[in-house]
Each structure stands twice: as C-alpha cells, then as structure tokens.
Amino acid sequence: AHRTEALQRELEASGSRLVDQLAQGDAERARLCARVETLEERLAASESDLREAESEVTKASQEASEAKNVASKAKRQLAESQQRLLTPSPQAQSRLRHSIGEPLAHLEPLFSGSGAGAANKLLQEDMEALEEEAR
C-alpha cells in the first residue's frame, strides 16, 4: 500500500511537472507564434515600402530623362537662336554692302592712282591749318 501510494504521489508529481512543462511549452509556442506574426507583418510592410520606393525611383528616373531631353532641346534652340542673331540674313548683308559700298566708291579715286596724291595733299593742308590754329 505504501508502495502504491508512493508510486501514485510520484505519478502525480510527474504529471504535475508535465502539465507545467506543457503550459510553458504552450506559452512559448504562443510567444513564438506572435513573434512570427509580427515579423510577417513587418515583412509585408517592408515589401510594400520596397515596391513604393521602386515606383518612386522609376518615376524619378523618367522625370530625369525628360528633364535631360528638355535641357538638350533648349540648348539646341539657344545655339540656333545665337547663330541666327550672329549671322545677318542675306537681305541684311546685301543692304549693308550697298550702304557701305556707295560712300566707299566715291572715296576710292582719292586713294588710288593719281587721286592718292591729291588726297595726301588735302590731308597735309588740313594738318598745317590745324597747326596754325594751335599757335
């Protein structure tokens, strides 16, 4: 009878330890499940953030490409405008040649051939007159 009671107490103690261990195991399993759930939520959020960031990078890359194209076009247009401003039109070149050519045509005989002597003489007379006035 003592032996049966001792075995029964041992069995109850062992059962109690097993129940405690099961309770601890259940608590640990619940804690780990909660941790896994938290990590899965964080992973889902991270994946969402990553997709959003990839979308933003793609959009920024497209905008940068568009800005580069606009800048290239503006640079090309500026160069064309500068070229147009610096190069007179054929009509303007013709008018310029005509407006300069007429007065020069009248002066040309003074500086070529026998006219050169006459021009030099006129200049010499002018210089002498200026020197006299200065005195």
Nearest to 33 by CA among 41, 22, 17: 41
**CA–CA separation, 30 vs 25, rounded Å?**
8
pLDDT for 121 beyond 80: no
Nearest to 107 by CA among 92, 91, 94, 122: 122
Mean pLDDT of the residues in the chain = 84
- Does the reported pTM lie above 0.95? no
Residue 1's pLDDT is what? 78
84-108 pLDDT, tens digit each:
777 777 787 777 667 766 665 555 5
What average pLDDT does range 112-122 have in this prediction?
A: 63
38: helix, strand or coil:
helix
Tokens 């804690």 -> residue: 31
**CA 20 to centroid of chain Cα atoms:** 66
Residue 44's pLDDT is what? 95
45-69 pLDDT, tens digit each:
999 999 999 999 999 999 999 999 9
